[in-house]
Amino acid sequence: MPRLSKRFFQLNEVVEVARALIGKVFVTKIDGLITSGLITETEAYHQSEKACHAYNGRRTNRTEVLFGPGGKSYVYLCYGIHHLFNVTTGVEGEAAAVLVRAIEPLDGVDYMLERRRMTALQTRVSSGPGKLTQALGVTVKNNNTCLITAEDLWIETYKEIPQSRIVASKRIGVNYAREDSLLPWRFYLKNSKWVSSS
């Protein structure tokens, strides 16, 4: 299936991109191995709210990618252990990104199991932001990659998903953002078992 276009990431609000990414396919080709998964859970982040690393327009080495044009990867290390994968959105100068929190494995399941040191397919292979990156081989080395053109990281279209299957809720793990933690900026696929447990 074709890749998502530059327009998809740049011409829509980050919350709409987060919703629209549900049901798309995240593909990686790392160490020559193709692995992919259906995106089942996402969260939106924007510089206007406290949960965002670039809250209030804060520019640092780390957040610089967020201010660039949409369609690039933003991968950072969380709790010193987990690599979390985001896609930037919007126009140059506006910091916003969508965190991919869970996938349903499609291609390269055996490689995913190996990377996760598992022997049988269970939801725990990819049902969380730190788990799917490990399954797909994504690390901070894949930060600041253009998803429109890169050879190792991209997102494709897939079958149409009925809007009625997409549910919004508050985001997970951002209580420090106080009232902004209540924003309904998390989206997931209803009735899918491949979502993070909350």
Q: Is 49 in the site for DNA (CB under 7 A)?
A: no
Q: Name which of 79 and 164 has its Cβ closer to DNA.
A: 79
Binding mask 95-114 for DNA (x = CB under 7 A): --x-x---------------
Instruction: Please state the closest distance from residue 58 (CB atom) to DNA, in A.
Output: 6
Stretch that binds DNA, among 16-24, 28-36, 74-82, 151-159 (CB under 7 A): 74-82
Q: Name which of 1 and 121 has its Cβ closer to DNA.
A: 121
The answer to whether 194 touches 25, Cβ cutoff 8 Å, is: no
Rounded to whole angstroms, the Cα distance separating 46 from 92 reads 13
- Tabulate helix, strand, coil % of the chain (nearest 5): 25, 30, 45
Stretch that binds DNA, among 4-12, 14-22, 73-81, 148-156 (CB under 7 A): 73-81
Characterize 32-44 residue by residue with b for buried, 16 or more Cβ atoms within 10 angstroms of its Cβ, and e for exposed: ebebbbbbbbbbb
C-beta neighbour count of 48 within 10 angstroms: 15
Rounded to whole angstroms, the Cα distance separating 57 from 100 reads 22
**Kind and range of the H or E run holding 112:** helix 109-116
Instruction: Please state the closest distance from residue 133 (CB atom) to DNA, in A.
Output: 8
How many residues at the interface with DNA, by CB under 7 A?
32
Instruction: Please state the closest distance from residue 2 (CB atom) to DNA, in A.
Output: 26
Binding mask 151-190 for DNA (x = CB under 7 A): ---------------------xxx-x--------------
Q: Name which of 29 and 62 has its Cβ closer to DNA.
A: 62
Q: Is 37 in the site for DNA (CB under 7 A)?
A: no
Contacting residues toward DNA, per CB under 7 A: 43, 45, 51-53, 58, 60-63, 74, 77-82, 84, 86, 97, 99, 116, 124, 128-131, 172-174, 176, 196
